[in-house]
Amino acid sequence: MSEIKKQKSRFVCQSCGYVSPKWLGRCTECGAWNSFVEERVVPQPARAQRAPATPVSKPLRLSEVEVTEEIRLCTPFTEFNRVLGGGIVPGSVILVGGDPGIGKSTLMLQQAMALAGPDRPVLYVSGEESARQTKMRADRLGPSTEHVYVLAETNLDAVLEAGEEVQPGLVVIDSIQTMYKPLFESAPGSISQVRECALELITLAKRSAIPIFLIGHVTKEGYIAGPKTLEHMVDTLLLFEGDRDHMYRVLRAVKNRFGSTREIGVFEMTEKGLVEVTNPSAFFLSERRGDASGSAVGCILEGTRPILVEIQALVAPSSFGVPQRTSSGVDPRRVALLLAVLEKRVGLRLGTFDVFVNVAGGVRLDEPAADLGIAVAIASSMQNKVVDPKAIVVGEVGLGGEVRAVAHLDKRLAEAQRMGFQRAVVPHSSMRATRRVAGVTVKGVERIEQALKELLT
Ligand code: TYD
Ligand code: MG
């Protein structure tokens, strides 16, 4: 009886993670209804005797704070370093999020193997796979290394103990959702377990200057375990994205206390793990044939990086009453809009035709600057005319058929030049702010019809 009395209860909002000593019908933090779940805290006498997590600190004058050039840990993967802002900052906690199966474990095991050395052992904690599975994966990825320690464990206390033993220079937790602290009764993966475990690992990282990578799955709603909670706590959030049917992956910094969030890294998933793609434009254009109708080359910006992509369209007479419109890599609503513009402003009778739009390599075009390329590819297939294979095309298309300005035209033209393109059809209104690029003839257009006239032969 007295045992039960001693156990303390607390209530945790499952929506935002707010902790309250009593049950609330509505969360005072996030406003969610009925979101509180009771959680019992098992008292631990040892807890009170533990040393303070961080050394006691006192306020310093700003001018007294010593700034030393931090030495970042660099992996042999230049794409990875760049996304982090030039390497791994000691003591930083980096959350790597992404859909299940996208390659997070592969990426981090590769980094672990590349970074491990005699004076820098790496502790790879796998809560999802056995040590044997991790070993089998490692064997595919490269020569085995003595300095990576694998621990198949989900109890965070055991992980910390192993950390004491190994004294690692880098820790990978795969994944944070599988970790739990026995002190709390809620299940692993619940918001409070995830938060408590992350908090403890963050404290460890800051105190010991060991960088820690946390792998996190993105849930259906697009959150990494518990809305935003983790995101606020970590120094850096990287998202690993891509299409599972295609082999290319993009690593993107969404939050970074130590660098820009505009950088991306491109990788390709191969049989031997992830390989860096240092020239994405060449990669995405590699299968292009310049002599077929329905293909146009556009230029998108991924972060600050221009990437040339091939946009393909196929327009064929419809054999059913309702014509099909299928697109991959482009929002179908955007395609519908462009079809309407082509019909109304250019006079293409697309109403009885099936239209398929595809972006080669599984790239997603989220930028309006890709509009004109999509429209040109569709018109090219419809009229069975080939688009000039030496031209790139960029521009946003408005409802009136006008071609609107795009940002960073300079960068896009420079990329076109680098990849050997000789012509560029661009929004007329973007021309003024753009410098000339040697070897590339730039044509500014105001309307979609002009672009078609320029490009279709
Ligand atoms: P994984 O790293 O397990 O994904 P996550 O940790 O994000 O869930 O990656 C799984 C996929 O990657 C799986 O479909 C197999 C593929 N893969 C390769 O193609 N090549 C490889 O060398 C490895 C290790 C995995
Ligand atoms: Mg995994």
Distances (CA, A) of 446 to 373, 402, 443: 14, 6, 10
Binding site membership of 216 for ligand 1 (Cβ less than 6 Å): no
Strand-strand pairing, 295-302 and 305-317: antiparallel
Task: Evaluate whether 403 touches 425 at the Cβ level (below 8 Å).
Answer: no
Q: Report which of 1, 446, 8, 14 is spatially closest to residue 227, judged by C-alpha positions.
A: 14
At CA 17, angle to CA 15 and CA 20, rounded to 5?
Answer: 110
Query: In this predicted model, what pLDDT tens digit does every residue of 166-198 receive, in sequence order?
Result: 999 999 999 899 999 998 888 888 888 888 999
Task: Evaluate whether 434 touches 409 at the Cβ level (below 8 Å).
Answer: yes
377-416 as b/e, with b when 16 or more CB fall inside 10 Å? bbbbbbeeebbbbebbbbbbbbeebbbbbbebbeebbbbb
What is the model's pLDDT at position 3?
A: 45
| Percent of the chain whose pLDDT exceeds 70 | 92
User: 215 CA distance to ligand 1 centroid (A)?
Assistant: 14
What's the rounded Cα separation, in Å, for the pair 188 and 213?
A: 18
Query: In this predicted model, what pLDDT tens digit does every residue of 321-369 receive, in sequence order?
Result: 889 999 998 999 999 999 999 999 999 999 999 999 999 877 888 899 9
> Residue 401: pLDDT above 70?
yes
User: 215 CA distance to ligand 2 centroid (A)?
Assistant: 8
What is the model's pLDDT at position 7?
A: 56
> Residue 124: pLDDT above 80?
yes
What is the model's pLDDT at position 246?
A: 77
> Residue 222: pLDDT above 70?
no
- Give the 3-state secondary structure of residue 299: strand
Query: How many other C-beta atoms can be found within 10 angstroms of the C-beta atom of residue 442?
Result: 16
Q: Which of 108, 214, 224, 269 to mutate to test the pocket of ligand 1 (most atoms within 8 A of CB)?
A: 269
What is the model's pLDDT at position 19?
A: 85
What's the rounded Cα separation, in Å, for the pair 132 and 144?
A: 13
> Residue 370: pLDDT above 90?
yes
Q: Which are the contacts of 268, defined by CB distance < 8 A and separation ≥ 6?
A: 247, 248, 249, 274, 275, 276, 277, 283
| CA 253 distance to own-chain centroid | 7
pTM of the model: 0.77
User: 216 CA distance to ligand 1 centroid (A)?
Assistant: 15
Atom of ligand 1 nearest to the CA of 98: 7
> Residue 22: pLDDT above 60?
yes
For ligand 1, atom 23: residue with the closest CA: 273
Atom of ligand 1 nearest to the CA of 244: 14
User: 271 CA distance to ligand 1 centroid (A)?
Assistant: 9
Binding site membership of 98 for ligand 1 (Cβ less than 6 Å): yes
Is the Cα dihedral 137, 127, 164, 72 positive or negative? Answer: positive
Q: Mean per-residue pLDDT for 115-125?
A: 94
Binding site membership of 102 for ligand 1 (Cβ less than 6 Å): yes
> Residue 2: pLDDT above 60?
no
User: 372 CA distance to ligand 2 centroid (A)?
Assistant: 39
Least confident of 66-70, 163-167, 426-430: 66-70
Query: In this predicted model, what pLDDT tens digit does every residue of 142-151 receive, in sequence order?
Result: 887 899 999 9
Q: Which of 99, 102, 104, 106 to mutate to test the pocket of ligand 1 (most atoms within 8 A of CB)?
A: 106
What is the model's pLDDT at position 49?
A: 47
Task: Evaluate whether 150 touches 135 at the Cβ level (below 8 Å).
Answer: yes
Q: Report which of 235, 176, 193 is spatially closest to residue 210, judged by C-alpha positions.
A: 235
Query: How many other C-beta atoms can be found within 10 angstroms of the C-beta atom of residue 139?
Result: 10
Look at 329 and 311; give whichever has higher pLDDT: 311
- Give the 3-state secondary structure of residue 120: strand
Task: Evaluate whether 267 touches 248 at the Cβ level (below 8 Å).
Answer: yes
Look at 455 and 6; give whichever has higher pLDDT: 455
Residue reference for tokens 């796979």: 129
What is the model's pLDDT at position 290?
A: 80
What is the model's pLDDT at position 20?
A: 87
Instruction: Provide the strand spans (E) within 31-137.
Output: 36-41, 93-98, 122-126
pLDDT band with cut points at 50, 70 and 90 for residue 47: very low
Neighbours of ion ligand 2 (CB under 5 A): 105
185-205 as b/e, with b when 16 or more CB fall inside 10 Å? bbebbbbbbbbbbbebbbebb
> Residue 449: pLDDT above 60?
yes
**What are 268's two structure tokens?**
């390709």
User: 198 CA distance to ligand 1 centroid (A)?
Assistant: 24
What's the rounded Cα separation, in Å, for the pair 125 and 214?
A: 10
What is the model's pLDDT at position 210?
A: 94
